[in-house]
């Protein structure tokens, strides 16, 4: 289990389970750690166990929908986990 705020040890645990994250450069997707030293984990490899997470996402999606001016009678936007990114210090 990883806790927040993220400790150096927990960051190392994430890094060992992750792969180097590529980024878009023009029409190519590349890995260049001098530009972006970032690691990624696909959502099938982790989950959030904090019981407050669901309510937090519900609040965020409502705030986004309201901020975009979406009609309240429409279903709210969905929040879907894409990837977990770990950015090394100074990588962005």
Mean per-residue pLDDT for 62-89? Answer: 89
CA distances from residue 68 to 21, 28, 33, 48, 71 in whole angstroms, order as listed = 30, 32, 35, 27, 9
**pLDDT, greater one: 91 or 72:** 72
Tell me how crowded residue 18 is: count the other CB atoms within 10 A of its CB: 19
Quote the pTM value.
0.72
pLDDT band at 16 (very low <50, low <70, confident <90, very high): very high
């Amino acid at each position: 289990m990883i806790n927040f705020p993220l400790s150096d040890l927990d960051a190392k645990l994430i890094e060992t389970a992750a792969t180097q994250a590529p980024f878009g450069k023009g029409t190519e997707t590349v890995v260049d750690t001098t530009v972006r030293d970032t690691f990624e984990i696909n959502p099938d490899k982790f989950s959030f166990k904090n019981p407050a997470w669901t309510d937090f996402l519900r609040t965020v999606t409502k705030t986004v929908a309201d901020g975009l001016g979406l009609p309240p009678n429409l279903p709210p936007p969905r929040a879907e986990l894409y990837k977990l990114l770990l950015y090394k210090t100074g990588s962005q």
